[in-house]
Amino acid sequence: MKTIKGPGIFLAQFMGDQAPFNNLPDICKWAAGLGYKGVQIPTWETRLIDLQKAAESKTYADELKGAVQEAGLEITELSTHLQGQLVAVHPSFNEMFDGFAPENLRGANNVKARTEWAVQQLKYAAKASANLGLKAHATFSGALLWPTVYPWPQRPTGLVETGFKELANRWLPILNTFDESGVDLCYEIHPGEDLHDGITYERFLEATGNHNRACLLYDPSHYVLQCLDYLEFIDIYHEKIRAFHVKDAEFNPTGRSGVYGGYQSWIDRPGRFRSLGDGQVDFKGVFSKLTQYDFDGWAVMEWECCMKHPEDGAKEGAPFIASHIIRVTDRAFDDFAGTGADENFNRRILGL
């Protein structure tokens, strides 16, 4: 067995215009001061990283890595959640997702160019990850089929197959670049994405020809909100889980609202994200399962809470994760009772 690394922290939700949240050295010092050992870097944040430069310059990548190490931290993974979203966007969401793209690529006439930009961003991320010595990368799949997730009106025959074929076609060149770079591409299974549960991940995997780099970022909070068995998910897909977001959630349905949330704000929804320890996720079970299956990646806190201040969530998150990481044993608990044996001894016991 292997010991999970951590605690790590995803920096996306903590970035701001004021120090220490507006540059890489300062936010790393802040995170280290709270007890974190690693940072997951959102690559759309140009205050933290120049993604293209990290892909094209090993010297720059080494400098970036050095700046993080100077604070006593490691880079856990890079993230392209926003760029990955733009690899596949249903037309009904074009305007809403335009804000994820550079200003010159926004608008109805720029959809193709926006997609090409997103694909290139992912390819840069593969090479940048390799230059930084990283093994895994975090992203979203994007969505072509999400508006049809509830089949009314009835989905036309073959629509789902066509959608996943197109999604795979868009991602295959990216996956191949990640393969060439020796990095696993980890899709966060997430509502709003075409990869939002185990079945949709299996559909995508099949459409890519079971590409060996099409892996998973495991985040139990998104399964709580879908009423999906997040512990059995680990049993089923553990061989593909290469990244881990430690995020809490709760689901409290009422007679008035359930999984869909009634278009309510997060504070009023039956399903909502919470700071670590304030929700319903069985993290002892999660860490036990991942340890059982030899997950040796990072446990990275992603803070998304509709109540608690982010700095309080970050302060509480590091010791919470540290207390759940299981230092694996190097011996069996019943070794003291061992009698020692060899093949002849075993055969005699069996009467052979």
Q: What is the mean pLDDT of residues 214-230?
A: 98
pLDDT of residue 200: 98
Which residues does residue 136 pair with via DSSP β-bridges, in sequence order?
Answer: 184
What's residue 329's pLDDT? 85
> Which pLDDT value is given to residue 273?
98
Q: What CATH number should be reported for the domain holding residue 115?
A: 3.20.20.150
Residue 93: the pLDDT is 97
- 118's enclosing H/E stretch is helix 111-131
Q: What's the pLDDT at 44?
A: 98
186 and 211 Cβ atoms separated by less than 8 Å: no
Name the average pLDDT for the chain.
Answer: 96
93-142 tens-digit pLDDT: 999 999 999 999 999 999 999 999 999 999 999 999 999 999 999 999 99
**Least trusted range by pLDDT, from 224-228, 325-329, 338-342:** 338-342
* Mean pLDDT, residues 238-247 taken together: 98
Structure tokens at 198: 């185990």
* pLDDT tens-place string over residues 49-69: 999 999 999 999 999 999 999
Domain range for 170 is: 5-349
176/183 Cα distance (integer angstroms) = 10
The reported pLDDT for the residue numbered 233 is: 98
pLDDT in tens, 191-201: 999 999 999 99
SS3 readout for 5-50: EEEEEECHHHCCCCCCCCCHHHHHHHHHHCCCCEEEEECCCCCCCC
Provide the pLDDT confidence category of residue 262 given band limits of 50, 70 and 90: very high
Identify the CA nearest to 54 among candidates 127, 143, 2: 127
Q: Given a cut of 80, is residue 334 above it in pLDDT? A: no
Number of Cα atoms under 13 Å in the Cβ half of residue 188: 24
Q: How confident is the model at residue 156 (pLDDT cuts 50, 70, 90)?
A: very high
pLDDT at 204: 98
pLDDT above 80 (res 249): yes
Residue type, 69: Q
pLDDT of residue 336: 67
Q: Is the predicted pLDDT of residue 339 greater than 90, yes or no?
A: no
User: Based on the structure, what is the number of domains in the chain?
Assistant: 1
Q: How many CA atoms lie within 13 A of 3 on its CB side?
A: 13
